[in-house]
Amino acid sequence: MTAASRPATILEVAHLAGVSKTSVSRYYSGERERLSATMQERISAAAEQVGYHPNPLARSLKGGPSGLVGMLVADIRNPFSVAIMHGLEQACRQAGLSLMVCNSDNDPDQERQQLAMMSSWRIEGLVVNAAGCHSDALRQFVTSGTPVVLLDRSLADVQVDEVGLDNTAAIDMAIDHLVAQGYSRLLYITEPPAQASSRQARLARFESRCAGQGLDATILCTELHDQQALDQRLRALAPVVSHARPAILCANGQVTLAVAHRMRALDLRSGEIGLIGIDELDWCGLTEPGITTLAQPTDAIGQAAIDCLRTRQHDRSADRQYRAFAPQLIQRGSTQPPASH
Amino acid sequence: MTAASRPATILEVAHLAGVSKTSVSRYYSGERERLSATMQERISAAAEQVGYHPNPLARSLKGGPSGLVGMLVADIRNPFSVAIMHGLEQACRQAGLSLMVCNSDNDPDQERQQLAMMSSWRIEGLVVNAAGCHSDALRQFVTSGTPVVLLDRSLADVQVDEVGLDNTAAIDMAIDHLVAQGYSRLLYITEPPAQASSRQARLARFESRCAGQGLDATILCTELHDQQALDQRLRALAPVVSHARPAILCANGQVTLAVAHRMRALDLRSGEIGLIGIDELDWCGLTEPGITTLAQPTDAIGQAAIDCLRTRQHDRSADRQYRAFAPQLIQRGSTQPPASH
DNA sequence: TTGTACGCGTTATCAA
DNA sequence: TTGATAACGCGTACAA
């Protein structure tokens, strides 16, 4: 491969190999079988010599596959989003795809713009992990033949594939664990569900499950920057009576972080007050006595999202997929009540 | 804006506006002044009506600016990288650019491939935050006219712009703080510097500064998964004698995390043993008694990187830039020695 | 000031 | 099995 200031084109390869550019194109478009053995060799050799790689720009301008996958995230700094992104990126790489990441910083206007931008880049597939998502914009993608996968979200008015946590299993697992550990007064803390379906699903399951088991359960639904709301409920939880230990279930990693902060500020000891959170975080083993979590298999989720895209690409009318992954319990001290009496 | 199954082209706008496509092209290529007022209005109206957006594919195929910026990261899960990515993304958005993120997972082969891929997408600029970076590949970008910015790294054999932390200032700030707080036996913990110039710079400054001040300083240079090495040195540090308090300086966030884990496992109390780390992390206020850090202005760094790219784009032979940002001390309990006597 | 014609690198449609 | 030719959407000489 000779280093060229300008990348080699299909034409140069064709000339060097003494064949037409059509043949070279065929060689790279998965129609090698239709070429004679000699031709295949000559093309391969010529391409090697000039260091040829098909130009994805020209390819997708012509309407071919772009090899680009778009990801729309509401908050790129959310560790969960990062973990998923890692999974996606890995899967893309394996599939020879490139990933275009767009962060909307929770701004619907940005989202619109980002979607338009990705559309103009003719992405082959779109993975969405954003809340206030414009159904109409998404539908545009779908109708124009671009597969869309919703991550950890679902939208009532747009029918696309969905991948995420098995929220029911997660909530059940959390409650079962808390109960088994001797906690019976449960407080569920979540950000306002609003558009985020997974928040809704988790909340709903928590309510019905607790009702079913006759547990003493309450719910705090608040923005995380609202310290007052948080502090008030945490304090109310504090009087620990041995026959009805209280515990907190955090709906996601951001909540866990906020709660851990406030508990420390209020000098509440986890363990005494049970604490379990959905989403595993780097530091959960660090705080005394460690925070029990339900880890999501983020790499698998990312992989599944890409799988969905590719499946639908090959069969545009495939059945709508809904893949839910079970979490893994990582038990730490925060759900270990101190020996009583 | 009417929803169209196929995106509008420049030609449709031209027809609708009753002008030539050349004029429409000019309108979108920053030559509006050369068009008559009436024409500008007609074009604007027509474009609005059909929802026209210039096709970046066609634009860059022709050799024009692609509006794409590439980012190569060695470890997408590193919180520092994420923070920088956020800054980059923000800056890109403001500048109307799109960001293509490539993660190499610390694999040089992947890096090569990713670089080739970005090159084939005709990125307008490249931001690199990766260690074992192939200088030759980078030089290819530079010679082909694509600006390259090195993030938190520098390469001896390739002359490109660099943006990152002011390592000297950071180390000085950390040492000054530790000394002011009454610590005098310093242990610097870092991952092997190898290719990473910022690690080298920090380490070198630590050595020279401590030598200059006659401080009792030692260095541990280890892979973070090597628990033994870590534990051994931490234990050796433990005997706290009041006239020579020990303190640890962590070279970056990953080190801080590892050290915090091991200190907890060994039941070493920070504060008694001083602890300060470069890079601010979500959870540093959570562990008892909180970890003092030097926060990098990551958004500013991201912004600066994009600025560099754009500057060089307009003046390819501009002076090589080297922008170093000072960190901010965030003081917490880990550098607050307990009252003695 | 505005329009015509060509080329960017590729693929699809033909005809050989 | 191969090759010539026309798009894809845009920028830009050049001519008007």
pLDDT band at A1 (very low <50, low <70, confident <90, very high): very low
The identity of residue A155, as a single letter, is L
Which of B199, B201, B206 is closest to B224 using CA atoms?
A: B199
Q: In A168-264, where do the E strands start and end?
A: 183-190, 216-221, 245-250
Q: How far apart are CA B95 and CA B98, in angstroms?
A: 9
pTM: 0.91
Q: What is the pLDDT of residue A4?
A: 46
Q: What does the block give as tokens for B340?
A: 């003695």
pLDDT band at A340 (very low <50, low <70, confident <90, very high): low
pLDDT band at A220 (very low <50, low <70, confident <90, very high): very high
Q: How far apart are CA A79 and CA B82, in angstroms?
A: 9
Cβ–Cβ < 8 Å for A103, B89: yes
The whole-number average pLDDT for the span A102-118 is 90
Cβ–Cβ < 8 Å for A332, A286: no
Q: Over 60: is that where the pLDDT of A55 sits?
A: yes
Higher pLDDT, B172 or A107: B172
Summarize pLDDT for A23-34 with one digit per residue, the tens.
999 999 888 888
B86 and A CB contact within 8 Å: yes
Interchain pair A101, B103: CB under 8 A: no
- For strands B292-295 and B328-330, give the pairing: antiparallel
Probe site for chain A from B2, B121, B280 (most A CB atoms < 10 A): B121
How far is B209 from chain A, CA to nearest CA, in Å?
Answer: 32
Higher pLDDT, A105 or B7: A105
B118: which chain A residues are within 8 Å (Cβ-Cβ)? 98
Nearest chain B residue to A267 by CA: give it.
B288
**Going by C-beta distance under 8 Å and a sequence separation of 6 or more, which residues neighbour residue A63?**
none
Q: What does the block give as tokens for B272?
A: 């008694």
Task: Give the DSSP H or E segment for A150.
Answer: strand A148-151
The answer to whether strand D lies under 7 Å from the CB of residue A13 is no
Q: What is the pLDDT of residue A242?
A: 65
pLDDT band at A282 (very low <50, low <70, confident <90, very high): very high
Q: A204-226 b/e with 16+ CB inside 10 Å = b?
A: ebbeebbeeeebebebbebebee
Distance of CA B229 to the CA centre of its chain: 29
Q: Domains for chain A: give ranges and CATH numbers.
A: 10-54 (no CATH), 68-164+298-325 (3.40.50.2300), 167-296+329-335 (3.40.50.2300)
Alpha carbon of B132 to those of B137, B196, B222, B225: distances in Å?
Answer: 12, 8, 18, 20
Q: How far apart are CA A181 and CA A271, in angstroms?
A: 10
A28-CA/D3-C1' distance, Å: 17
B121: which chain A residues are within 8 Å (Cβ-Cβ)? 56-57, 98
Is the backbone peptide bond immediately before B289 cis, with ω within 30 degrees of 0? yes
Interfacial A residues in 287-316 facing B (CB < 8 Å): 287-288
Whose C1' is closest to the CA of A12: which nucleotide?
Answer: C9
CA closest to C1' of D3 belongs to A20
- Name beta bridge partners: A170: none
Interchain pair A82, B76: CB under 8 A: yes
Cβ–Cβ < 8 Å for A226, A233: no
Q: Which nucleotides of D are covered by protein (CB under 7 A)?
A: 1-5, 7-13
Least confident window among A172-181, A195-204, A271-280, B130-139: B130-139
B53 and A CB contact within 8 Å: yes
Task: Give the DSSP H or E segment for B47.
Answer: helix B37-50
pLDDT, averaged per 10 consecutive residues of chain B (341 residues), comes to 65 89 87 81 88 90 90 93 95 91 89 90 92 81 90 83 96 97 95 87 96 93 95 87 87 97 94 96 94 98 96 86 96 89 46
Q: How far apart are CA B294 and CA B174, in angstroms?
A: 8
Q: What is the pLDDT of residue B179?
A: 96
The whole-number average pLDDT for the span A285-309 is 96
The identity of residue B274, as a single letter, is G
A168 and B CB contact within 8 Å: no
Q: Residue B76: which of A56, A86, A121 has the nearest Cβ?
A: A86
B119: which chain A residues are within 8 Å (Cβ-Cβ)? 7
Q: What is the pLDDT of residue B145?
A: 86
Nearest chain B residue to A259 by CA: give it.
B286
Q: What does the block give as tokens for B129?
A: 């935050």
**Taking chain B, what is the end-to-end CA distance rounded to the nearest angstrom?**
76
Q: What is the pLDDT of residue B143?
A: 86
Q: What is the pLDDT of residue A137?
A: 87
Q: Over 50: is that where the pLDDT of A110 sits?
A: yes
Which of A187, A210, A172, A206 is closest to A270 using CA atoms?
A: A187
Higher pLDDT, A316 or B242: A316
The whole-number average pLDDT for the span A236-248 is 82
Is the backbone peptide bond immediately before A289 cis, with ω within 30 degrees of 0? yes
Whose C1' is closest to the CA of A55: which nucleotide?
Answer: C9
